[in-house]
């Protein structure tokens, strides 16, 4: 089938799927770097030690949340391309998927803004120099904890987006439907961790890191590796898009 009705050729369809997968995998690098930096500098329940670490490694701390901003941009670009690929399987569902991703990404970006707020408090900026040091350190640690909770909320929307992706895969004719249940595992992993943390904080440590990281590796890992290596069946994609 030609590409006159869709505006895409078989070659461009396969290329778009591969680029979407490559960007998704690439976004994990700055994202992981950012998480690692925060875990390295933050000391649990010790505001003074956390403050000392951040001020001593301010450049690294700033690089951490800037890296996460970069990861978000790359991830959103990947999902926009994925929307294009999955749209023939269900236009409204694909649009819903994109909206969920954008909401989750916006919340994740706000979580990074909490890091900047913590740094401002510790450096006495924005007219906060008169604030007692102990109070500033405690507030900074609170903002860093809010970062973690914001990220947990973002995972709820990412989990929902994975479930929508799973439904689109199952309705598609151009990727193996076996990838649908794997993406369901991915989505349920995110939702279990997110809701488990929000509903019962002591429950979360029993899940981590197998949920959500192992479930994400099973679901997203297999899905995006398939798109990167095998791409999609472009002929069937064009047929479903035209239909």
Cβ 77 vs Cβ 23: under 8 Å: yes
Quote the pLDDT of residue 132.
83
Q: Is 104 exposed, middle or buried (0-12, 13-18, 19+ CB in 10 A)?
A: buried
Sign of dihedral through CA atoms 218, 162, 183, 202? positive
Provide the pLDDT for residue 205: 78
Sequence length of the chain is 243
Q: What is the pLDDT of residue 128?
A: 59
* pLDDT at position 1: 45
Question: CA neighbours within 13 Å on the CB side: how many for 198?
Answer: 14
Give the pLDDT score at 179: 97
pLDDT > 80? residue 6: no
Instruction: Note the pLDDT tens digit of each residue in 77-135.
Output: 999 999 999 999 999 999 999 999 999 999 999 999 999 999 988 987 655 566 788 98
Mean per-residue pLDDT for 48-65? 95
Burial-class residue 130 by CB neighbours within 10 Å (0-12, 13-18, 19+): exposed
pLDDT at 123: 86
> pLDDT tens for residues 202-243?
887 788 888 999 999 999 999 999 999 999 999 999 999 998
Is the confidence at residue 3, as pLDDT, over 60?
no
What is the distance between the terminal CA atoms of the chain, rounded to a whole angstrom?
Answer: 12
pTM above 0.85, yes or no: yes
**Per-residue model confidence (pLDDT) at position 4:** 45
Q: Report the pLDDT value the prediction gives residue 204, as an integer from 0 to 100.
A: 77
């Amino acid at each position: 089938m030609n590409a006159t009705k869709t505006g895409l050729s078989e070659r461009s369809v396969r290329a778009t799927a591969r680029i979407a997968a490559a960007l998704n995998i690439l976004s994990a690098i700055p994202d992981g770097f950012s998480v690692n930096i925060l875990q390295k500098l933050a000391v649990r329940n010790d505001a003074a030690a956390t403050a000392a670490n951040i001020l001593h490694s301010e450049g690294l701390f700033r690089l951490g949340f800037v890296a996460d901003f970069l990861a978000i941009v790359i991830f959103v670009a990947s999902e926009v391309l994925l929307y294009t690929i999955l749209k023939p399987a269900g236009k409204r569902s694909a649009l819903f998927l994109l909206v969920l991703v954008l909401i989750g990404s916006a919340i994740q970006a706000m979580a990074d803004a909490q890091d900047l707020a913590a740094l401002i408090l510790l450096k006495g900026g924005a007219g906060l120099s008169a604030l007692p040091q102990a109070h500033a350190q405690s507030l900074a640690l609170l903002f860093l904890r809010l970062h973690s909770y914001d990220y947990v909320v973002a995972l709820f929307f990412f989990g929902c987006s994975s479930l929508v992706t799973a439904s689109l895969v199952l309705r598609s004719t151009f990727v193996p439907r076996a990838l649908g249940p794997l993406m369901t595992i991915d989505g349920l992993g995110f939702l279990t961790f997110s809701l488990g943390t929000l509903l019962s904080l002591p429950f979360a440590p029993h899940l981590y890191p197998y949920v959500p990281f192992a479930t994400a590796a099973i679901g997203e890992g297999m899905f995006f590796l398939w798109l990167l290596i095998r791409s999609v069946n472009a002929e069937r994609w064009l047929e479903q898009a035209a239909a």
